[in-house]
Amino acid sequence: MSMNIRAGTARDYLESISKEIYSVLPKDILNIVDLDLFGAEVVIYTLSPGKFADYYDKIRELAKKLKKRITIRTPNLEEIARKNAEEAKRFEEIINKNRRPPSEAEKVIKEIIPEEAGIKKIVFDKTSGRVYIEAVKPGVVIGKGHTNKIKILKETGWIPEIKRYPPIPSPIIWEIREFYMDRGVDDFRTKMLKRIAYKINIQSTWMITGQKTWVRITALGGYQEVGRNCHLLTTKDSRVLVDCGISLGASPRDMFPELKIPEFNLEEIDAIVLTHAHLDHTGALLYLLSGYSEHKYDGPIYCTEPTRDLLYLLLEDYISLSRDPFPQARPEEILKRVITVDYGTTLDITPDIRMTFYNAGHILGSAMVHFHIGEGFYNVAFTGDFKYDKKSRIPRLLPPADPAFPRLEALVMEATYGGKRDTASFDDAVNKLGDIIRTAYRKRGKVIIPAFVVGRSQDVMFAIRYLRDNKLIPEDIPIYIDGSIWEATAIHTSYPEYLSKYVRDLIYEEGEKIFDKDVFINVGKDKNKRLDVISESGPAVIITTSGMLNGGPVLEYLYYLGRDENNILVFVGYQAEGTLGRRIQDGARTITIPIDGKLTTVDLRLDIETVEGFSGHAYRDQLENFLLDLNARRNLGIKLQNVIVHHGEPKKIESIAKWVERNIRVKNVRTPDNLETVRLI
């Protein structure tokens, strides 16, 4: 039997791979006391982790053969003691005999790792047997060919987990890392992962018998509109929710996805998959996990690691500002359920679905999601929000989307900028922003740039750095950052592997100087500092939240600076219908906004500009090129039969759908409404 084909129960599967593992890893020599399935991983419990250093290559070969990640850890002695105190005591004695005490182990680690690695923190977790090492240069800690990592394992008996120390200090990242070391959280995740494992590691009945199944997508939100994105992917044996967002600025009735329908049962959902962290794709999770009904979701939430960190930041920010009269879970309830997945890693998430993430180029950690259903039965991909800019000469923060799908029959694609005239150049946008800043400088005015915490803010900051480095704007104009933007920027510098090669190299060379504190001044949600910026004479650039003017510091800046015709308000991102940003874009010059808890009317006299080109969404020409490039691979596994278009205003969706019908050889182009179900096969 091929090891990636599951048959019978999960117990049968575990028994079959146990034989394979023990044929390579000697149970007695390595002191292996148990094997178990954790989600899509195989966990080996050992009393002597250090002995595994001599079997490192064999473990990698096994993982490749089994198509499973293999991790080692020490057994949970507290859990064992509840059943057998004597055995727990014996295990503890053997473990302590085979690994150094933390104080000794720390000295050994510092002797092994070169100083240039910049070790900042070493934390020991006795429950799992891991040692967490945070360093400025994690690659130096690991060593060429993992030599240092293996040496630490062998000489200390502790299992090293190596993390990048954020070049810009990030309280959010440290909070998350400490959260996962909490014993209660570890117990919760252990139980959840075991439950998932025994659910996914069985063969679907239709796959065993060779029966045909069906694949359907139900539109729960984000169809014929922008916002509250939510899709339900179903097969005979699986129910997967892709994104679960809210519509910012919408009425309470239209804020959430259509979850109260007969075919949606929270307890039947096998997995939730997130394409990225923005609230229009994730915000409804707070509601979903709040216990709003008798149903409860105890399953996993899959996303990339940067998405997890940014999601926590955005949800905390949203809760602090939200006045929504809806039940909300704490963001920690979401963190407990998150399983992070790297780009290009294929993972079993249900008995008949494997999932792979590919870079979407929209924001840090954003992913296009490819679902492989059955053993070669059907393949469908969701683009989520994506960017496919391959023409810019000015360096960009993120690389363009990478649709390296091995096979594809159906595509669910966004169309935010699907209209015929929805085309803009990033290079032109940067140059126009430079013109605006120079104009404000001459007039001694202030440039107010409302931007999303994640994505547009960092794009604009990086563009301003480019303009300064090339002396295209005055060096003495201060650049202020307000809201949670600085924290999100710190998270960006923690994941250089997700950024463009140009930016990645800068971070390795310059560290925190990529967003230099001498250039970018962090206001940090401090109202007194904000008032100082407002009252300061002379020109300035202010990048602040929120991006669509739904709340946040930008409202104070508009209140105090909006009446001065020397100032300029610059929109750099999409403004959804119903938001204050869209109303101002459409010509409103008298607005009512909450200031210090009171609704206040403001007559806007400042100039208003829209700079197209900074958006993280693909423009019309990029949508077309994306589809043409996919279509060119028809002889290489891409056999598009169905294209579903969503996430856009109705006219834009219709426009790009007609183009697809004329130019791409597909059987069906669908533009469903919310609550419609499309059967793909």
Higher pLDDT, 592 or 524: 592
Q: How far are the Cα atoms of 223, 418, 680 from residue 664, in angstroms, in the given order?
A: 21, 15, 17
Sort strands 446-450 and 239-242 into parallel, antiparallel or unpaired: unpaired
| Tens of pLDDT, residues 121-158 | 999 998 899 999 999 899 999 999 999 999 999 999 99
Q: For residue 285, is it left (φ>0), alpha (ψ between -120 and 50) or beta?
A: alpha
- The answer on pLDDT for 209 being more than 90 is no
List CB contacts of 339: < 8 A, sequence separation 6 or more.
39, 193, 300, 301, 302
Q: Across the strands, what pairs with 681?
A: none
Percentage with pLDDT > 70 across the chain: 96
Span 86-92, mean pLDDT? 95
| Tens of pLDDT, residues 20-75 | 999 999 999 999 999 999 888 999 999 999 999 999 999 999 998 988 899 999 99
Span 216-243, mean pLDDT? 96
Span 570-582, mean pLDDT? 89
Q: What is the rounded CA–CA span in Å between residue 292 and residue 296?
A: 9
Q: How far are the Cα atoms of 179, 188, 340 from residue 184, in angstroms, in the given order?
A: 9, 6, 19
| Tens of pLDDT, residues 339-369 | 999 999 999 999 999 999 999 999 999 999 9
Confidence of residue 294 (pLDDT cuts 50, 70, 90): low
Q: Which residue, chain included where needed, has tokens 């469908």?
A: 380
| Tens of pLDDT, residues 649-673 | 999 999 999 999 999 989 999 999 9
Please provide residue 569's backbone torsions phi and psi, each rounded to the nearest 5 degrees: -100, 125
Nearest alpha-carbon partner for 52 in 32, 38, 77, 23: 32
Q: What are the helix and strand counts (H, E) for the chain?
A: 23, 28
Q: What is the rounded CA–CA span in Å between residue 171 and residue 379?
A: 40
Looking at residue 510, its pLDDT comes to 64
Q: What is the rounded CA–CA span in Å between residue 487 and residue 312?
A: 11
- Please give the biggest Cα pair distance in the chain: 80
| Tens of pLDDT, residues 239-250 | 999 999 999 877
Sort strands 353-359 and 598-603 into parallel, antiparallel or unpaired: unpaired
Nearest alpha-carbon partner for 428 in 399, 457, 397, 391: 391
Average pLDDT, rounded, for the chain:
91
Looking at residue 1, its pLDDT comes to 29
DSSP-assigned states of every residue in 316-350: HHHHHH----S----HHHHHTTEEE--BT-EEEEE
Which sign does the torsion angle of CA 276, 281, 287, 293 carry?
A: negative
Q: Give yes or no for a contact between 95 and 74, defined as CB atoms under 8 angstroms apart.
A: yes
Looking at residue 2, its pLDDT comes to 36
Domains present along the chain, CATH in parentheses: 1-97 (3.30.300), 99-165 (3.30.300.20), 191-420+617-679 (3.60.15.10), 426-483+523-610 (3.40.50.10890)
Q: How far is CA 211 from the centre of its chain?
A: 36
